[in-house]
Structure formats: C-alpha cells, structure tokens
Structure 1
Amino acid sequence: MCGRFALWITLIIPEHYGLVEPEEPILPSYNIAPGQEIVAVVQTTSGRNITRLKWGLIPSWTRDLGKSPKSINARSETVWDKPCFRSAVRHRRCLIPANRFLEWEKVEAKKQPYLIRFENLELFSMAGIWESWLNPETGETIESCAILTTKANEAVAAIHDRMPVIIKPEDYATWLAPKSHREQIETLLQPFADMPTQMLPVSTRVNSPKNNDPECIVPVLLPDDTQQGVDKV
C-alpha cells in the first residue's frame, strides 16, 4: 500500500511535467497523509496542469459523505472491476509527484517506518485516479484521488508486499491520455524495478501527521536485529 509520502523538491515540477501554465509555488511537505490536499498532474484540453485533490477517493455516486469509504489506495489488479474505481481508471487518471514514499515494517509489537527512494531518481510519479463528487445539499464539489498499488519489487518486499505504481516519464502521455486503451494502461501497472530501491529507517515521528518538517526524512540508526534482509543506506 501507500499510506504516506513526501514532496519537497518542487521547483523542478513545471519543467519535469511540461506544464502549460505557470504554477504557484508548491510548499514542501515531508509527511503527506490521507485526507490532506495533495498535488497532482492532469491532462486538460490545453495540456498538462497542476490540480489539488483530496487524498481519499470519494465515489461520484456517494450519497452520505460521512458513511462513504474514502479509499487512499486502489489495487491495480482489481481497479477495472471495482465500482468505486472503474470509471476513474478509464477516464480520470493523474500523476502524483513524490520524492519519497513511506512504508512500515512490523517488528514484534512495533512498526518501524522506512523512507523509500529510487537511486538517481529524486522526483518520481505515482499512478493516481481521481473523481469529482457534488454535495447535493450544499452544491460543494470535492475532487479526490487514490494511489494505485501493485505487488512490491524485490527490495520493498523485505518489509511489505505492496508498493505504489510508478509511471516512467516516457509513459506519462499514455497514462494521462483519456483515449488510451485498457491494454496500454495495464502494461504500466508493474512493480518498479528500473533503478535500485533504497530504504532508509526514519523516526516514528512520521506516525503522526501533525509532524511535518525536515526531521521526518532524516535517517536513523536501528539495532542490528531489525535490519535483516533490508537494504538500507
């Protein structure tokens, strides 16, 4: 799964994605959590643009927002068939920029967080889908999203069996294009293994979304018995 990520190297975003309109400065965030507003890249009739989406997808047919599930992740293996996701994956795909994502390893009764990065890839794009929900009582529109996940690559599998789907830059156009066929999209939903994956243990401060500062991404030392089978730097 993907339950947290970080984005602080933001100045390269407009050039990296070829945005058609200047974007207001994107503030760094070191501990992005579900329910928060996140940055996403979408395809419009004029080109690629930045939008803000609430992390936790609300199905368009939701009647009672309080009782509706708000999915932060969608399994790529079943996303085409789930009523919550099937319309979005066909028509409303987005790219979610990140510098790192986080995962937790169960160590006896505790969970140790790891900051996960790809070597020589400071900025990468997670596959997202989004929906627009209209509140019938207030007329308010909420645009929300979920991150697609796939089985973990060899490195991440040491601590968890899932990871976000990573879309390569050469595949951005295919992923974002509304007219891309299902067969084209499915080829992109694979575990990312093009570059070595590095996992750095970080402080449990990231367990609380209230903590959002550079200290959240500073590696920490762990006892040797918690580091077996995990490639840490």
Structure 2
Amino acid sequence: MCGRYTLLADEAEILDKFSIEQSIPDYEPSYNIAPGQQVLAVIHDGDKKRAGYLRWGLIPSWATDEKIGYKMINARSETAHEKPSFKHLMTRKRCLIVADSFYEWKRVGNEKQPKRIQLNDRKLFAFAGLWDKWEYGDQKRFTCTILTKAANRFMQTIHHRMPIILPKSHEDAWITTTNQSADEVHQFLQEVETEPFQAYDVASYVNAAKNNDAGCIAPLHK
C-alpha cells in the first residue's frame, strides 16, 4: 500500500518536470503527506495539463458518506478495472500524483520500522492515480486514490504491496489517452516497468501525521 509520502521540490522544478504552464496556487512542500490531506495532482483538461489539489481518499460519486474516503486511499490495480468504485474512473478520470519519496513500514519482530523509499535515478516522480468529483447536498469534494500493485523483489523485503510509479515516458499517456476501455487501461498498468529503488530507516517521528519537518526524513542512526 501507500499511506504516506513526501514532496519537497520547489514549484519551479515541478512546473518544469511536468511541463505545466500555470503556477500552482498555495503550493507548499511537505515532509509527511497523509490520507485526508490535499495532495498535488496533475490532470489533462482536454487542452493542456493542469496542476491542482485533490483530497487523498477517494469518495465515489455515488457515496452518501464522505467518510468512505479514508478506506479508499489506495486501489488495487489488479482489480480496479472490475470494481464499481474505480471502473469508470479508469477510463476517464486518471491523474498523476506528484511525489519524490514515500514511506513504508517494515515489520521487525513486534515492531514496525519506518523507511523512506526513493527512486535511484530521478528525484521527482508521479504515482498513477484516479480521481472523482463527489457532491452531496451542498457539499462538494474532489478526491483521489493511488493505484498499487504487488511488491517487486526489492519492496518484498519491506512490504507485500507498493504504489505504481509511472515511468517518465508513460506519464502523459496515463492522463491524455482517450477512448480506452477499463480492460485496456488495466493492461497498460500491468506493463509498467518498475524503476530501481533505494531505502533507508527513519525515526518513528514520522508515524504522527502532525509531524511535518526535516525530522521525518532524517536517517536513523542506531
């Protein structure tokens, strides 16, 4: 799964790496992005790419209670094309969720050791995401979820699931390709290759979502 991540790049770097023309309103880096928070995402509006904020934790358009979002921070790529909550989003509401590392907790005996995980060869990347618009009464929310898959050999030593990080060459196709069925999008995800990772231990300080400073990513020295 993916339950916490970071985005520490400055705005100019994000605009450049994702070829976005307009500025990002109220952008702030974060050491500890958690479910329920507003997260930076990139979509294609049919004309150009736009960056903005979605709340992390998908609320399907048909839901009557927004609390369901806390149970839908991730979607399994193996079955998303079949599930009512995600199937129609796979065909028309795909997004890039911008990050530069993520956290995962490795079980060690009776404890869980948090680790910060980064790509070896590039700093900024994007998770494959889905988004939806929810309206109920006078309430309106734009929310998202991160797609996951079975862990690769590296991640298996830490956790059995991992987020899907799109290769740079696949990012535009993920948000711009139209007229695809859910099955075709599912096949696209299954063919995405995983880039090499690196990881290091961090302190349990990161466990509390209220902690959002350099202490979250400081290497743990035992």
Instruction: Answer whether TM exceeds 0.5 for this pair.
Output: yes
Task: Indicate the SS of the match to 1:150.
Answer: strand
Report the RMSD for the aligned CA atoms in angstroms.
Answer: 1.8
- CA distance 1:67–1:174, shift in 2 (3 Å): closer
Asked whether the equivalents of residues 165 and 189 of structure 1 are also in contact (C-alpha less than 8 Å), the reply is: no
Alignment correspondent of 2:31: 30
Matched, 1:120 2:121: yes
Tell me how far 1:12 sits from its aligned partner.
Answer: 0.8
Amino acid at match of 1:140: Q
Where 1:27 maps in the other structure, the secondary structure is coil
Please name the residue that 2:108 is paired with. Answer: 107
Give ranges in structure 1 of 5+ residues lacking alignment. 223-233
User: CA offset at residue 64 of structure 1?
Assistant: 2.8
Whether contact under 8 Å (2:80, 2:90) holds in the other structure is yes
The corresponding residue for 1:143 is 142
Asked if 1:211 is matched to 2:192, the reply is no
Q: Deviations over 1:145-197 (max 9, x none)?
A: 00000111211111111111011121122100251524255233457533x31
User: Could you tell me how far 1:66 is from its partner in structure 2?
Assistant: 4.2
Aligned to 2:152: 153
Deviation by residue 1:19-66 (Cα, 9 ceiling, x = unmatched): 132223621100100011100000013300012100000010011334
Q: Give the ranges of 4+ consecutive aligned residues of structure 1 lying more than 4 Å apart after TM superposition.
A: 66-69
8 Å CA contact 1:150–1:190 kept in 2: the answer is no
Counterpart check, 1:4 vs 2:4: yes
2:30–2:212 contact (8 Å) kept in structure 1: yes
Q: In 2, Cα distance between the equivalents of 1:86 and 1:69?
A: 19
How far, CA to CA, are the matches of 1:37 and 1:62 in structure 2?
A: 20
Partner deviation per Cα, 1:75-125 (whole Å, 9 max, x = no partner): 000001111111111110000111101100111111100000111211011
- List aligned pairs for 1:31-180, cutoff 5 A: 31-66=32-67, 70-136=71-137, 139-179=138-178
CA distance in 2, matches of 1:5, 1:190: 24
Identity rate, percent: 38
* Residue 17 of structure 2: aligned partner: 16
Structure 2 alignment gaps of length 5 or more: none
CA distance in 2, matches of 1:15, 1:199: 26
Q: Is the CA contact 2:4–2:102 (under 8 Å) kept in the aligned structure 1?
A: yes
Instruction: Supply the distance in 2 between the matched residues of 1:147 and 1:161 (Cα, whole angstroms).
Output: 16
Q: Deviations over 1:183-216 (max 9, x none)?
A: 255233457533x311110010111001000110
TM-score normalised by the chain length of structure 2: 0.92
Quickly say closer, same or farther: Cα 1:180–1:217, change in 2 above 3 A: farther
Higher alpha-carbon Rg:
1
CA contact (8 A) 2:165 2:194 kept: no
Tell me which amino acid in the other structure corresponds to 1:42: I
